[in-house]
Amino acid sequence: MTSIRMTKKKKILITGFEPFDGSSFNPSAQLLDWLNLQTFDFEIHTLLLPVSFTQAFPLLDELTTNINPSAVLLTGYAQTRTELTIERIGINWVDARIPDNDGLLLEAQKILNHGPDGLFTTLPVLQLIEMAKKSGCSAKVSTSAGEYVCNHLLYLYLTKYSLIPGTFIHLPGSQNYDIFFQGIHAIISQI
Ligand code: PCA
């Protein structure tokens, strides 16, 4: 008797964020435009998210449910960092320094009252770093996605989608993003 093994078709969902904190620039938004000009031999879906505690996750949740991707890469901007940073954990905590783009300021509180304190990301972080490095891009692991909208999104994603591997990548401050976009391209191609 022959057995048929069903493997899930490769379909990557990648998100970025709109500009925030009075800036007109967010490289994670530009990353999505750049990726949409590349060709891949698998499906990619891009989603630009508002920097909003209340809107970002519901939008991600809706698209994730609709398309059922094989992996999810969330991305955002961390201006003070110098390398691509791949997040190891999302924490059940928000303590924003500035309001989100809706004017909402969430300070020193849990994201989910009865949620776990933290959840590890579910893509192989060290392997992703190696993939980026092989493409010539500097990358390292991060154990803090911050206490703002990016961590909030990552934490909520991890609580709901334990079966769809995902992580968050912060883009650094830079004059030239090409190498970092190539690094993310290499990651997407290999996961
Ligand atoms: N960076 C912020 C929110 C949006 C973004 O790109 C953060 O690190 O939380």
In the chain, the domains with their CATH numbers are 11-190 (3.40.630.20)
DSSP annotation of 116 reads -
Contact (CB, 8 A) for 119 and 89: yes
* Average pLDDT of span 153-158: 99
Average pLDDT, the chain: 96
DSSP annotation of 81 reads -
Strand partners, 109: 94
Q: Measured from the CA of 77, which atom of ligand 1 is nearest? A: 6
Cα of 64 from ligand 1 centre, angstroms: 20
Assessment of whether the complete model's pTM goes beyond 0.85: yes
77 in contact with ligand 1, CB cutoff 6 A: yes
* Average pLDDT of span 61-82: 98
- Nearest residue to 32 via CA among 51, 52, 12: 12
* Average pLDDT of span 54-76: 98
Tokens 């303590």 label which residue? 95
* pLDDT recorded at residue 8: 75
78 in contact with ligand 1, CB cutoff 6 A: yes
- Nearest 5°: CA angle at 161, between 158 and 99? 45
User: Could you tell me how far CA 41 lies from the centroid of its own chain?
Assistant: 21
DSSP annotation of 15 reads E
51 in contact with ligand 1, CB cutoff 6 A: yes
The two structure tokens encoding residue 66: 């609709």
The two structure tokens encoding residue 52: 């909003």
- Nearest residue to 135 via CA among 71, 190, 70, 88: 190
The radius of gyration of the chain from alpha carbons, rounded to an integer in Å, stands at 16
pLDDT-derived band at 1, boundaries 50, 70, 90: low
- Terminal CA-CA length for the chain: 32
* Average pLDDT of span 21-48: 97
